[in-house]
Amino acid sequence: MPHIQCITVQWWNPRQGRFKCNSDGGSKGNPGPSSLAFCVRNSRGEFIHTSSRGIANTICLVAKAKAMHDGIAYCVQLQLLPLILKTDSLILMKVVDREWDVPWSIKLPAVARRLVNIDKMHLPSLRFKTFIAREPD
């Protein structure tokens, strides 16, 4: 019989005066028809904004990058800062945080290139995290 392990994952409110943006994207096939979504909540856990949309055929990582970009752009435009950006993509988080180099050679769409080139000097209040169980913000 296979071993099954259950892990409880809980969403935590950001600290007072901060905002949290959860983003995700996916594709049916790789590449395939894709979609993205993000939501923004305040320190009381109340929704500030939610957004989702279908996008052209692409790979899953590009859909996730576009979702992250849309979430950041929305929050910066409305000055919803300081911002904690949550993603389930370790690759994107590490690339955007400049901890990893892009490990492959692909032609990134303009939106994904802008994500990789985020100037953290101008947006010092952005904090990136992957979804990790048992870790409060």
Q: In angstroms, how far is the first alpha carbon of the chain from the final one?
A: 37
* CB 62 within 8 Å of CB 124: no
Give the global pTM.
0.75
d(CA 114, CA 25): 17
Q: Please give the domain boundaries of the chain with CATH numbers for all domains.
A: 19-129 (3.30.420.10)
The tens-digit pLDDT sequence of the chain (137 residues) is 888 888 887 788 999 999 999 999 999 988 999 999 999 999 999 999 999 999 999 988 889 988 988 998 899 889 898 888 888 888 887 777 777 776 554 544 555 555 555 555 445 555 655 543 334 43
